[in-house]
Every structure is written in C-alpha cells, then in structure tokens.
Chains A and B, each alone.
Chain A
Amino acid sequence: MSTTVADGPAAGVVGTRMRRREDPALLSGEARYVHDLVVPGALHMAVVRSPYAHARVTSVDLSGALASPGVAAAFSGAELAGEWSSPMPCAWPVTADMQAPSHLPVAVDEVCYVGDAVAAVVASSQAEAQDAAAAVAVAYEELPAAVDLEDAASDRVLAHSGLISNRAYTWELVPDADAVERAFAEAAVTVRERYVQQRLIPAAMEPRGVCVVPQPFGGEYVVYSATQIPHILRTMLGITAGVPEERIRVVAPSVGGGFGSKLDVYAEELLCLALARRLRKPVRWSEERSEAAQATIHGRGQVQEIELAADPHGRVLAVRVRLLADMGAYMQLVTPGVPLLGAFLYHGVYDVPAYAFTCTGVFTNKTPTDAYRGAGRPEATYAIERAIDAVARKIGADPQEVRRRNFIPADKFPYSSVAGLVFDSGNYEAALDAALELVGYEELREAQARRREEGATRLLGIGLSSYVEMCGLAPSRVLASLNYVAGGWEAATVRMLPTGKVQVVTGASPHGQGHVTSWSMIVADKLGVSPEDVEVLHSDTAVSPLGLDTYGSRSLSVGGTAIALAADRLIDKARLLAAHRLEVAPEDLELSAGQFSVQGSPSSAIGLGALAFEAFTAHDLPEGMEPNLEASATYDPTNFTFPFGTHVAVVEVDTETGKVDLVRYAAVDDCGNQINPLIVDGQVHGGIAQGVAQALFEEAVYDDEGNLLTTTFTDYLVPAASELPSFSLGRTVTPSPSNPMGVKGIGEAGTIAATPAVVNAVVDALSHLGVEEIAMPVTPERVWRSIGASAPGTGGGR
C-alpha cells in the first residue's frame, strides 16, 4: 500500500484543484433554493406548535384563525388524522423488540415536545399565515415531562402516556464477554471516563422549505423540498400519505447545506402534500430559524461511559462502552441507528483485542435526534480519543507516544477488527508523524513548558486526535444485518449526446459538496472530454429515478464509483462500435484521450464523439447493437471505506477568565485517492469548524420543564470567522482497495476528528493543575470552575 504526501497524480483533470462548476450560479444569486421558487397561486402554511414539552391537547379552536385575513383553511391534528395511511417513517428499527410511539405529522391528543405540531393554517401570504397561526387557541393539560436523559432512562416520568418504558431498545456488541472481563481483571492500568455528548442543532444556513404543487387532473404531485434525500423521500411520502409512489416527483433544487438535518422525512413535507391534495392548490412552507431549532432534528445527545484496560506501557487490552442515547420524543428516519454507526469504532485506530459495547436508546420530551455530521462516529471518536489521553496521563507518557504504541500497524491491513469490521487500508503512524511535523509539536511542547514555568496566565494546550471512520454507506448486506430497511447502493447513467457532449445522471443528491464538479472530472478523464462538456443531472426523481441520495460520506465512494462503472460500460460498447468501424478486433484497440486507435497503427483511429454520432444515427451498427452510447451501473459497495488521520489543536487558555482561544490547528487526513483536492480541503475546513463548534460553542439547552432555550443564533453560538483560526492541512494518500478509484470519503472526517482534539488541548493546558475533564461545550465559565475545583486558589472558581 503506497503512502505519499502529495496531492496525487494528475494525468487528466482528476487530482487537480479544478474550480467548481457550481459556483457562478451560486455567486451571482441566480441559484434557486426552495424559498426562491415562484409558484403562482401557492398558499403559505404556518404550523401551530406545542409550547409544552408534554401535554394532553384538550381542544383546538380554529375559529380565530379562520376569521383572520387571507386565510384559506386551518386544520387540527384530529381533522388531518385521516390523511395518513401510516405513521411517520422510521427506517431503522435496530432491534426486533424496539419500542416506538406512533408519530403523526400533526399530534392529535398528546404533544411530546416543545415544537410538536398541533395545527396547520394556510393563507395567501406568509405574513397572513403567521398572523392566523397566532390566532389558533389550543387548550392543553400539562403532563410531567421527561427532560434529562439519565432521569428519563429511570422511567420516573414517561415521555409518552402510551409507553410502558422510555427505553426504546438496548443493542449490544459483545464478541467475547469473558475476554473483556479477563482483560480488566488483569490490567495494570484502567481508566473509566464519563462524557456527555451535548445536543447540537445542525443549523444548515438554509432553513428547510417545502412546496408541493398538485396537478389534480394529471394525478401527480411535484414536491420541491430542501432535502438531501429526494429518492428516499419520494418512497416515504408515498407510503405515509397514501399516494402511489409513481405519482410523486420530488425535486431538490439548490439546497443550502444539510449535515444530516435534511436526511429525514419531516412533518411539514407530509403536511404540504396532504394540504395540497385536500385543497387542490400548491402549498408551501418556509421554515424560520427559531422554528428550525425545535422542528428540525438535533444531533448527538448521549451519555457515554468508556473504560479502557491497559498494560503498564499504556497498551490497550480492552475497551468497554455503555451508552445512553437520547432519541428525543419520536423516532425520525434513522434516529435509533445513529449510535450504531459508532458502535464499531469505540476502539478507534488502536489494535484492541477485547471489546464490549452496549447502547440503550431512550425517549425524552425533546426534539427528536437523528443523523448530524458524522452520526455516531464523532461520539465514538471523542470517547476513545479522550480516554486514550486519560491513559497517557495515568502512566505519565506523551499522548502521541501512547497512540503510537497502540496503532493498528500499517502491515496489518486489511485489518479484521475486534468489532467485526475489515478496515480496508491505513497507515496511522504516517499521518500522525505528518501532523506533528505540520504543527511543530516539539517546539509547542517546549513553549508550553516555558509558560508553565513562568507562571503565565495564558497557558498553552496541545490536543491530539487520531481517528478512523467508516464511511461509504454502505454494503447492503451489512445494512440488512443491522436491521436497516433499505440498501446502500447507488445508481448512475452516463450517455453521450449526438454532438459528443456527455450527460451524467446520478442518484446522489448534492447540497454543497460539489458533485457536479467531481462527477464531471471523473467522466471527463474516462471519456477524454472537457469537464465543461459534461452535464450532471441530479436531485429530481423525474430525471434521476433511481438513487439513495447523499449522507454518510457515501457520494464519491459509492455514487462516484457507479459513475465510473457506467462510463466503463459505455466505453465497452463504444469499443465494439469502433472495432466495427475500423474493421479490427475490439481487443486490438486502445483508448487514449477519447480516441480509439489500433495498436501499432495509430493513424487508424476514431474518437468517442464520432462514435456517439454514429451510435445516434444508427446507420451502420454491428449486428444486434442498440442505438446510442449510454450505459447505467448500480454499485453496491463490498465494504465500507475507512478514512483516517491525525488532527492537532493548539489552544491558549486564559486562567483568569477561563477563555479558550484556538490559536492553531493542523490536520493530516487520508481519504485515499482524491478527485479534487480543492474540494477535499473545503470539506476538511468545514468539518473542523463544526467539530470545534461542538467542543467550544454549541449546545441545545433545555430548562427543567423541557423548554428549548437556544432557539436563535444569539443563544445558539454558531462560530463566525472571528472565532476560528486558519487551518493547516496536510494529507497522506493510502488508496482504498475496496473500489476501483481507490477513494474513501471526506465529508465528515473533520467533524469527527476536531472535537476531541480541541477538548484534549484544553485539558492538556490545565492538566498540571489537576484538570482531567471539562464538559462540552467548554465555556469560559466551565474552564474557570474546573481550575478552581482542581486547584483551589488558582482560578478562584468553585
């Protein structure tokens, strides 16, 4: 397995830092998001939401709303109950005995979180819809709410009156319980850590939006939605609203970020569809930011207990993990499965012989959780990377040295992990070395020691995070073993038009990742055309009928592979046609830069463009060959891919105020071969920022009654440019053997790596004062208190 530190070879455009083709439309303002679509006659919907975390709905009085100017209709949950042929979908019942309450788009008699929908009104403008929604009078009988996760797990208060326990499921991965027990019994060193993964609000800059245009006489519904999953959404809308799937066309126009929050089927999508059907008029809804905080899924929300058993040198012998995972009030599309995406990775990049993992999913009266950038893997990486630092502290070793002692060695790949995965390829030590060099590790350690000696009030902390993640979701058979109800393949079509231009149809659904650029680069090199000559069609079920959409860093390794395979099939057909035209055997032809030429007599050649025209006219095709150059492929991956790397965060901590400044950040990532390193950089940058945000800034805070207190960007602190440094990036390249392009995936790596790097850095800065743990987000007050608690008199806090 070769490992280099360069951007990779660049025989064609693949591997180059090509500027994105998407950008001019986005930069000029001509790109259209759902909110921008002009639909004549559309009614605007506003949703009336519960102000209580848990309550019985005793009456819904719509008279005030119906009398409000511009109102077309208003409905309670009871009036809409007949619209649903099944409850809101959950595609991942992780265990056969999983408990889940019925979840309707609009609650009928019980509301279970602040933000749960109780009524919907439609009016001729958004302002009038909001005016009318404010005039709906709902009477509630308040019920006790299960707010705190651990308290909810005790069943002291039930989150749903119809459930007998808040515990939805318990899922275990314990390959050899005795081995784990033995390891802990015999270990020279053990650490037992408890971490809280606070709830996060995904906060894509574009709030959600839906517009459903019915065609009452054609029998079809066009659903425009700010979604990551037009294909899955189409199927689920059909099932839930009782509309035949083929009568629904879903279009995701420009989508302003998702990060998992638009990987879902939402009440408002179903409401717009049902109201459009009922009223026979277009119905649209634009989410407001303060509404988004409650009505769009949250991420994370776990209490983690992780134990490591190690030998005296810090070599880890066993990992034991117990999780409580906050489902929120209901199961959304993949809510129960999110912790499982981390279940296999709690031993991280380390060669660990014994492993035990248990997770219990728990309902609370809060906004449902679901996939948020990394989904399960950031949580796992956080726990192991914090805990490995705890081991290093305990044995008095440098954290980078303890990592080195434990890494899965480069010569052990493909590596069969104790959790049952086969890691495709890796060279963890190379990435660590590169990261330490990039950040200037030795000098930083010296500077850190100097500041401590001087008694400085601005201390330096250096935090490491070595990660591996599993992405490229996913081999369908593996998904079956995890009880997921769908597969993990991706579909693509490549066709050449009569003029030699190329059309690519992909089932992936981009929302900022630059797929148009990357896909056209792959195809351009295959077919010897310019990327500008490749049109990429996506995100509309009418033009891309088959697909499983974009999430889990799957688009390139699964969707991109499907495209490469389809292009290869097109070339296979073109080769037969070329052989026919040049009157040689197909195997005598070689393809270079879009030209088939006869080996040994290069003057005898024909280009793909000419062949496309021949195939189009079909005047002279080989016997039995169908017209046109077009090929499709559906790729079901044989394995996950396993990107890895090491990130290093450098912080300054003001011991007087507790303020943490992230002053330097170096990341060395390995995502296999790169199609466009410019785009890879961007994914890493953005991922780091979101990981840093969890470490230092963001938390969805609830009060004891279950009210969300952080509903706006003034309370929910998404960092701006002023809060972040520039990032130093490096890369190693260890291709994946699992797919023909050797690619892995990079959409989530930054987020997965950054959070533990930053918190490790803060703890590192203060470790000599006895600080071992600070809860996230690491606020100035928490830092100040941790200093006071660990070393009385130093910071003054308690």
Chain B
Amino acid sequence: MIPASFEYRRADSVEQALGWLSEDPDSTKLLAGGHSLLPLMKLRLATPGVLVDIGRVPGLSYVRDAGDHVAVGALTRHRDVEISDVARAHVPLLAHVAGQVGDPQVRHRGTIGGSIAHGDPASDLPAAVLALDGVLVIDGPRGRREVGAGDFFRGFLETALAPDEVLTEIRVRKAPRGWAFQKFNRRAQDWAIVGVAAVVNGGARVALVNMGATTVRARGTEEALAAGAGIAEAAARAPEGLEPPSDLQGSAEYRRHLATVLVRRALEEATASGG
C-alpha cells in the first residue's frame, strides 16, 4: 500500500498549478483531498511522476449565494458543503448528497472538485450536480471556460477537463424544494449500486449513479414526465437507453430494475417535499 515514488510540488495558486501541469500534463496529477487519487496510487494503479498539491491554494473553498445559483469552490470539502447554511437553504440536495459520500473521515478530506473531476459514475456528487443543472468552471492555459454538467462527464473516469486544466468552481441552480436522493447500497460506506438524484422543481431532472459509464440522466423518465405521465409510468422508463455495468454488487439487469424502483421513490419523495 505504498505508492511508487513521485515528485511532490505544492501550489500556492491556480496559476502556479497550471504552470506545473503544462510542463508534462500526462504524467502530472493534481492532488486536492486525495481521496480519489491516493487509493489508486497505493495499489499502484496510478503512478504519476509529479503530484501537484493544490490543497492549500487559497480562495477555493466556499459555498456562495450567487443569485440564481450557488457557487461552490472546488476545494470545498464534502463536510463543509454538507453543513453550509447557504447549501442547505438553496441547494439542500447538494448538502444532503455531500453528507452521503463515503464515510465521515472521507468527508473531512475529500473535496467536491476532486469528486467531480474524477468522473466516477459510481460517485454521488456528480449526479447531484447533473440534477441541479450544474456548470463546471475550468481554468487552463487557454483561459477560463464553463462547461455544463451534461457535457462534462464524457466516459468512464473521463471528463471534459483536459490534462492541463484545473476545475475551480461548481455552480448549481437553486432548488430549495422538490428534491430527493436515493442511494442503494449494501453497506453505508460503499458506493451506490444505483443512486438517484432528482429535482422536480420547474421541470424534472433525474440523474443516476452507477447506471452507465458516466453519470447519466434518466431521459426516458424526464420525457415521460414532461409529456404528463404519472410517476410510476415515468419511473418505469428510467433505464431506457442506458447500459449499466454488471459487477459483484449487481448485474445490469438488476440495476435496471433498481433504477425503476429508486426513481419512483425519488420522484414521490421530491414531489412530497414541494415539487
């Protein structure tokens, strides 16, 4: 469980991190909380030559009310999102989901930016951000750009983030009511076998955890709801067009079934909470 050797550099600013990244983007990795990267390095499944620690870059840990949306600094820890008054008031889904990631120790170290940038379809926060119509703010050598969450998750552990870019802010649309999160797993500390983040305020957005190579939306369900279908009917269409994985915790067929049940439960709960 000892990582292979690497060079460690601590960045004081995003600019400095970008500079180091540009030197050798393919063998350089950013380190924030380290809760996605270090486990891979300990098993030597990742062996970066250079680690750029951005964990102390100032000014990137915040949850801010920005009018129609809430802006969250990429280095904000899950725990800080969970207990943020701003998040709880305006995006309770995000606060709730942050409190469901991993376990308390993980939430004390892991960051929202790290979780989003890792692009793991089994992670909870990407689904919440997708359901909240999130926008990812990315800084890079070519300047700043904003990418919608729907365009950000590209493939398994693959995102729109280029190797020489840094994710700096996550923006999510306010949704104080009409939300729900369903996480189904066998142990509390595990990744979801299937998870559902739903927002039904002003048109339903339903995002699914572990139902494909990336975090995905339940398009079938969303279309059905838009067309006026009832919850049960819409939920039955949740797995439409999706190719969930088969693994030790569940087959693809079971995941498709779970999606229908969990989406239904999420929609019922979201509607009951004021959707």
On A, residues with C-beta under 8 Å from B are 126-127, 130-131, 134, 288-290, 656-657, 659, 697, 701, 709-710, 714-715, 717, 719-720, 722-723, 779-781, 784-785, 796-797
In the complex, the answer to whether B184 meets A657 with C-beta atoms within 8 Å is yes
In the complex, the answer to whether A717 meets B187 with C-beta atoms within 8 Å is yes
In the complex, the answer to whether A722 meets B187 with C-beta atoms within 8 Å is yes
Contact residues of B between 111 and 131, Cβ < 8 Å to A: none
On B, residues with C-beta under 8 Å from A are 1-2, 4-5, 43-44, 184, 186-190, 193, 248-251, 254, 257-258, 261-262
- Cβ 8 A contact of A723, one of B1, B4, B188, B261: B188
Chain B residue nearest in CB terms to A660: B186
Measured in the bound complex, the distance between the Cα atoms of B193 and A500 in whole Å is 62
Chain B residue nearest in CB terms to A697: B186
Task: Decide yes or no: A780 and B43 within 8 Å by CB, A288-B1, A656-B261, A715-B248 being known contacts.
Answer: no
Task: Decide yes or no: A709 and B2 within 8 Å by CB, A657-B184, A722-B189, A784-B257 being known contacts.
Answer: no
In the complex, the answer to whether A796 meets B187 with C-beta atoms within 8 Å is no
Measured in the bound complex, the distance between the Cα atoms of B184 and A780 in whole Å is 10
Distance to closest chain A CB from B246 (angstroms): 10
In the complex, the answer to whether B189 meets A709 with C-beta atoms within 8 Å is no
Measured in the bound complex, the distance between the Cα atoms of B164 and A232 in whole Å is 59
In the complex, the answer to whether A717 meets B190 with C-beta atoms within 8 Å is yes
Chain A residue nearest in CB terms to B103: A720
Instruction: Provide a sorted-by-A list of 22 A–B residue pairs whose CB atoms are within 8 angstroms.
Output: A126-B2, A289-B1, A290-B1, A659-B184, A697-B186, A697-B187, A701-B248, A715-B248, A717-B186, A717-B187, A719-B187, A720-B187, A723-B186, A723-B187, A779-B249, A779-B250, A780-B250, A780-B254, A781-B250, A784-B254, A784-B257, A797-B254
Distance to closest chain B CB from A621 (angstroms): 61
Distance to closest chain B CB from A135 (angstroms): 11
* Chain A contacts for B190, CB-based, 8 A: 714, 717
Chain B residue nearest in CB terms to A777: B186
- Cβ 8 A contact of B248, one of A290, A709, A719, A723: A709
Distance to closest chain A CB from B175 (angstroms): 26
Distance to closest chain A CB from B85 (angstroms): 27
Measured in the bound complex, the distance between the Cα atoms of B258 and A127 in whole Å is 43
Distance to closest chain B CB from A775 (angstroms): 14
In the complex, the answer to whether A779 meets B186 with C-beta atoms within 8 Å is yes
In the complex, the answer to whether B248 meets A780 with C-beta atoms within 8 Å is no
Chain A residue nearest in CB terms to B5: A131
In the complex, the answer to whether B188 meets A722 with C-beta atoms within 8 Å is yes
Task: Decide yes or no: A780 and B257 within 8 Å by CB, A126-B2, A130-B2, A710-B248 being known contacts.
Answer: no
Task: Decide yes or no: A127 and B184 within 8 Å by CB, A701-B248, A709-B248, A781-B250 being known contacts.
Answer: no
Measured in the bound complex, the distance between the Cα atoms of B44 and A108 in whole Å is 27
In the complex, the answer to whether B187 meets A290 with C-beta atoms within 8 Å is no
Task: Decide yes or no: A134 and B44 within 8 Å by CB, A715-B248, A784-B254, A796-B257 being known contacts.
Answer: yes
In the complex, the answer to whether A657 meets B258 with C-beta atoms within 8 Å is yes
In the complex, the answer to whether A131 meets B4 with C-beta atoms within 8 Å is yes
* Chain A contacts for B257, CB-based, 8 A: 784, 796-797
Measured in the bound complex, the distance between the Cα atoms of B44 and A134 in whole Å is 10
In the complex, the answer to whether B188 meets A720 with C-beta atoms within 8 Å is yes
Measured in the bound complex, the distance between the Cα atoms of B251 and A720 in whole Å is 24
Chain B residue nearest in CB terms to A713: B189
* Chain B contacts for A779, CB-based, 8 A: 186, 249-250
Measured in the bound complex, the distance between the Cα atoms of B246 and A781 in whole Å is 12
Measured in the bound complex, the distance between the Cα atoms of B265 and A167 in whole Å is 52
Distance to closest chain B CB from A53 (angstroms): 18
* Chain B contacts for A288, CB-based, 8 A: 1
Measured in the bound complex, the distance between the Cα atoms of B190 and A697 in whole Å is 12
Distance to closest chain A CB from B247 (angstroms): 9
In the complex, the answer to whether A780 meets B186 with C-beta atoms within 8 Å is yes
Distance to closest chain A CB from B189 (angstroms): 6
Measured in the bound complex, the distance between the Cα atoms of B42 and A289 in whole Å is 12
